Chain A
Amino acid sequence: AQSVTQPDIHITVSEGASLELRCNYSYGATPYLFWYVQSPGQGLQLLLKYFSGDTLVQGIKGFEAEFKRSQSSFNLRKPSVHWSDAAEYFCAVGVSGGTASKLTFGTGTRLQVTL
């Protein structure tokens, strides 16, 4: 079965600093990979996704992620963090099955941004 590990439970960065959130997955085949962001009391918003092709994926809000098969990683990056980026970030791996991909989520990383 697939699994996702987000080793950092909580990260604090200063506004304007760069950010990298780590994500490692375990899956026997080429996975579908996602990063979602969740603000308190809200649903999930998709930041970016990787299905195939270019391993460097651009997303919304200036985020990008790089799929590294050799490291089983899909780390999320942003060159300059804004205070509004403070939220919970979830990495997920999808397994295609019929009409939909079943997602397994990591435990999440809470991002705090200091001014």
Chain B
Amino acid sequence: GAVVSQHPSWVICKSGTSVKIECRSLDFQATTMFWYRQFPKQSLMLMATSNEGSKATYEQGVEKDKFLINHASLTLSTLTVTSAHPEDSSFYICSAASGPLGEQFFGPGTRLTVL
């Protein structure tokens, strides 16, 4: 149980285009999902907290107009990187919270490369 998927697993795009990443909880409902960014050989940095049916809460320094988050259902959250630039290239990981203590279950990650 508690499986989280991400799609796509990797994506290459041209500078200036937008990219959408999906995060799904496959066998449970998640009121809250999280989006992280991980640079090579570094730790995970929380970008935003996504609650179903409401606006996402962004961490300090994260541009909400650049990283659009939508949490339209209890099993799906999407992250759209708008007008992507090479500095947006990174590994993006989502997690979905479940259970009475809100334990997070992580997706396998999406590798974004912007040319």
Contacts and interface: CB of A to CB of B under 8 A. Distances in A.
B32 A106 contact: no
A78 B68 CA distance: 41
A81 B95 CA distance: 28
Contacts of B93: 43-44
B29 to A, nearest CB: 11
Contacts of B101: 32, 51, 96, 101
Interface residues of B, number: 27
Contact of A41 (B95, B105, B109): B109
**Interface bracket on A:** 20 to 34
A107 to B, nearest CB: 5
A51 B111 CA distance: 32
B43 A108 contact: yes
A106 B111 CA distance: 21
Contacts of B91: 41
A99 B97 contact: yes
Contact of B102 (A90, A99, A107, A110): A99
B103 A49 contact: yes
A11 to B, nearest CB: 15
